[in-house]
């Protein structure tokens, strides 16, 4: 078992366009730890579904979340960028890593839409934002950061909260 005192495990979560990957990579770089993007764990069928504008359901997400949990369970320190929209999804990750620190990136629908429209070559179309916002269950145990902050400000707040 890995001692919680020796670990730094972060979940950077939020809906599409909130900046999970940008902030996650910046935090991991700042701390000198590994970065995982949950999008890399999606099976091809999930990516295809989303690229067609079809929202994923719990059945689609279960094997994806299990693959992520299996990967992070034995990793002593990491930053994971993952939507983790529902509490039940976060529980799967917390069972794998009970010391997981949760950071929620939050913004207005207008901010998020603007960000999504400016993204290039991403499989997640802006049309899925509404379904993600409807699915999002705001965690009560998270550090919540407004996406209007700069990436540097967000990373500083996360590190200072530790």
Give pLDDT, residue 25.
98
Summarize pLDDT for 26-54 with one digit per residue, the tens: 999 999 999 999 989 999 999 888 888 78
- Please spell the DSSP secondary structure of the chain, one letter per residue: ---GGG-EEEEEE-STTS-HHHHHHHHHHHHT-EEEEGGGG--HHHHHHHHTTPPP-HHHHHHHHHHHHHHHHT-SEEEEE----SHHHHHHHHHH-TTPEEEEEE--HHHHHHHHHH--S-SS-GGGHHHHHHH----SSSEEEETTS-HHHHHHHHHHH-
Q: Which of the four pLDDT bands, split at 50, 70 and 90, describes residue 1?
A: very low
Give pLDDT, residue 119.
60
CATH code for the structural domain at 4-161:
3.40.50.300
């Amino acid at each position: 078992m890995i001692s919680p005192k020796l670990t730094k495990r972060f979940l950077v979560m939020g809906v599409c366009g909130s900046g999970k990957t940008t902030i996650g990579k910046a935090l991991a770089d700042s701390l000198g730890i590994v970065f995982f993007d949950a999008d890399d764990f999606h099976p091809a069928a999930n990516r295809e579904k989303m690229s067609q504008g079809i929202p994923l359901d719990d059945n689609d997400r279960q094997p994806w979340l299990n693959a992520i949990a299996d990967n992070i369970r034995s990793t002593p320190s990491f930053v994971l960028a993952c939507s983790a929209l529902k509490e039940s999804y976060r529980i799967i990750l917390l069972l794998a890593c009970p010391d997981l620190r949760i950071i929620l990136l939050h913004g207005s629908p207008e901010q998020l839409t603007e960000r999504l429209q400016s993204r290039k070559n991403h499989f997640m179309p802006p049309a899925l934002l509404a379904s993600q916002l409807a699915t999002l269950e705001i965690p009560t145990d998270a550090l919540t950061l407004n996406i209007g902050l700069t990436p540097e400000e967000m990373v500083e707040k996360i590190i200072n909260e530790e």
